[in-house]
Structure 1
Amino acid sequence: MRVGEQSTDPIDQVLGEVPVPASLTPEDVRLAVRAVVVHAAEEWPNGPLCRNDGASYPCRLHRWGRRVLENHGLNERQIDALIRHGNPFVHVPFPFTYTTPRPGTAPARTAPAAGYPARDQVGRPGTPGARPTTSGLRPGVRSGVPGRPVAPPATAPRWPRAS
C-alpha cells in the first residue's frame, strides 16, 4: 500500500485519520519525527507492516507524521532520510527553512554582532579580542610560571598488600 492510499485496516476505518494541527509547534514536529521513525516499514512475507504496532504499512501515526513534516516544509527525500537515519530524537529546526546555497556560489557571510570580531578575525593582531602571544608558545601556555610537579608513574603499589 502506498503512503497516499486509504487503508483497509478496520481500526483505520473506524477511527479515521489523525488530524494535523492548523498551526504547527516545535513539539508537533518533534512528535512527527518520532512517529515516522518508530512506525517505519518492516518487511514480512505478506507485505510491509508497521514495525511498532504490526498494522498494515503505513499506519495512522506514520501517515500523520508524514503529513506534519510535509506541512513543515520537508520533502519526500528528506523524510525518507530521517527514517533511514533511524534516530527518533533527531532535531529538525523550527521553523524549517531550506537554505542550501546554489552550486557554484559561495555561502553568504553574515556580519558579526556589534562589539565582537568576526570568527576568522579572532586572534589576529590589531583586531579587538586578539590575545598577545609569545612567539613559539601556544596561547594557553604561560611563560615563566612553574607548573604543578608531575608524579612519576607508579611502579609499585602505594599500599602494602595483605598476605
Structure 2
Amino acid sequence: MVHQQGLLSVDMLRTLVFLSLFVVLSLSLSSTLSNKVDALSIENHIDALTLEAQHHYAKQVLDSKCLAQPSLDPTELDIELMDKLGTYDIQYDHLAPATPHSLNVSFSFTELNTSAVARYLTPDSRDDTTFYYQRPLGYQRADFQHIDNATGCLQ
C-alpha cells in the first residue's frame, strides 16, 4: 500500500493562503473604511459648526437689529474647534459694516500624513494641509423689514 505523502501539507498550504488573503484584504478594507469614517466625521463637524454659526448670527441680528455684524469670534460658539483629526475655524465672508452672505469654514489637519483621509473630503478649495468650505449664512429677514443702507441695520 502506497502512502499519500503531502496531502496534509497541501490542505495546510491552502488554508494558510486563504487566511493570508483574508487578513490582507480585511486590513486594507478596514483602513479604507476608517479613512472614510474620519472624513465623514470632519464633514459632519463642519456642518454642525456651520449650523451653530448660523444660529449665533440670527441671535446677534435679533439682539442688535443690524444685519451687519462684527467679525465672528469662533470661541463664542458652543462647539469644539479642535478634535483628534485637526482644528476648525469659521468666519463671516465680509468686512464690517457690510452684511455677510456666507460663512467661510476651514479645517486644518494636525498631522502631516493626511492624504488618505483627504481624498474623501469635498472642500471648495484647499492648500497643503488646510481645507476651505464656503457655506450659506441662511438668514432670511421678513419682507416688512427695511434696511438702512448706511448702517446695515433694520429700520
TM-score, normalized by the shorter chain, greater than 0.5 = no
Q: TM-score, normalised by structure 1?
A: 0.23
Provide TM-score, normalisation by structure 2: 0.24
Give the structure with higher Rg (CA): 1
Whichever structure has more strand as a proportion of its residues is 2
